[in-house]
Structure 1
Amino acid sequence: MKIRTLIVDDEPHAIEIIEKYIENFQEIELVAKCNNAIQAFQLLQQHKVDLIFLDIKMPGLLGTDFIRSLKHPPKIIFTTAYQDYALEGFDLNAVDYLLKPIPFDRFLKAVDKVFALYKVTNPKITISEKATEQKNDVFLYLRVERKMVKVNVADIYWIESLKDYIKVVLKDKVLISKQKISLLEELLPEEKFMRIHRSFIVSTHKIESYHAYSVELLGIELPIGRNYKTECHKRLKSN
């Protein structure tokens, strides 16, 4: 089957990246591209669409409000530079939530969820150079005080939960952002990060040493929680 797909984003460059990614999947058919939610609403009256890659913060009408206006919305993958809308997005039954700039491996993970929903088996994927060129540079945008700060995940040593806030520790600075650690766990590449405690996520590549009850990064010991101990030791032994 072909999954009929629409891209809705007010940034031409963002549309271009998603379009290039989609070209790698024979099962995905790009029906149209729209610059705002009003155009998308009009197009949905004329065409059947199975999946929308939808930006949230657009002029005129937010992507989240657009979805609420639809009686029978298609499957949605939100694409945005703002983490603040993540919980709202998942409340709207989004398939996934991708933070810009979107690396191809993270895009692939989202598409795999769509394939599972439509029972697509053995998808035919052709990975192009343009699709993989961003793979090694994965970024997050964190709201720090009143601005959005771009953080390369490769620079993160660990994340610590502080109730409704998180502390993101880099080599030369610490960022405090109002965010839930569980949300950040969903956004980080799982092959590079590991939850070791209800309050800590660490970069597996930056662990300097470990023993039964803790790991050490930047000369600081962080505890391994009892409920995470078995999985942590398994991951650490395999690295």
Structure 2
Amino acid sequence: MKRIKVLIIDDEHLAREIIRSFLQEDDSMEIVGECSNGFEGLKAIQKLNPDLVFLDVMMPKLTGFEMLELLENPPFIIFSTAFDEYAIKAFEKCAIDYLLKPYSKERLKESLRKTKVAISQNESQDQKIQSLSRNVDQKQESLTRVVIKNGAKINIISIDKIRYIEAMDDYVRLYTKEGDFLKQNTMKYYEKSLPVSDFVRIHRSFIVRIKEIARLEAFEKDTYVALLHDSTQLSVSRSGYSRLKQVLGI
């Protein structure tokens, strides 16, 4: 079996050092690089094409999950994390493995054994990572930002900048005062993840920030449009109108 190319991504120097020292004892592993944040990790994965990545979850600039969202064909992932238990259960279902800091050399060897089996069987990691991201995101208390890749550019959009969201087949379009951005995700995800105190789904195609709504106007029989402060008009369904009446107190 050829040597497995490994990339280590962790913002803690000591954590990287521990992983490196353990891996150096395994002749089947070749460490091709180390990174201290998600931006560096993203570039390194695209440049070095590793077979396996040891990935921390909570890092500055980009979290581990945000970084994975930007990869079209992610490599195999072993999470090395101090994340709490609800996320760990998701890791067990979807990732190759997780290492809960602090961990032993034997625990890491167990992860490597799983990885070698997966690589020898030519399994695809892409579906596992997408499922992992969805499972963890659904358990977040509230979304705070959205990361979008546009060519070589990465936009990090704070949730408080979003005016409204429109469904676009397998994508959504996020509208801000600075422009609009296309993201591959579902309306259902944003309906569940955005703070309910700030956003409301008014139609199968629209989620809007409540403060952006200037007024509601009758359109046709039993239908309405939401008129935003900049004169944008958004369709309001019957169920959306019921939600709006509740949140607006009308």
TM-score (norm 2): 0.47
Task: Report which structure shows greater RCO (CA 8 Å, sep ≥6).
Answer: 1
CA radius of gyration, larger in? 2
**TM, length-normalised to structure 1:** 0.49
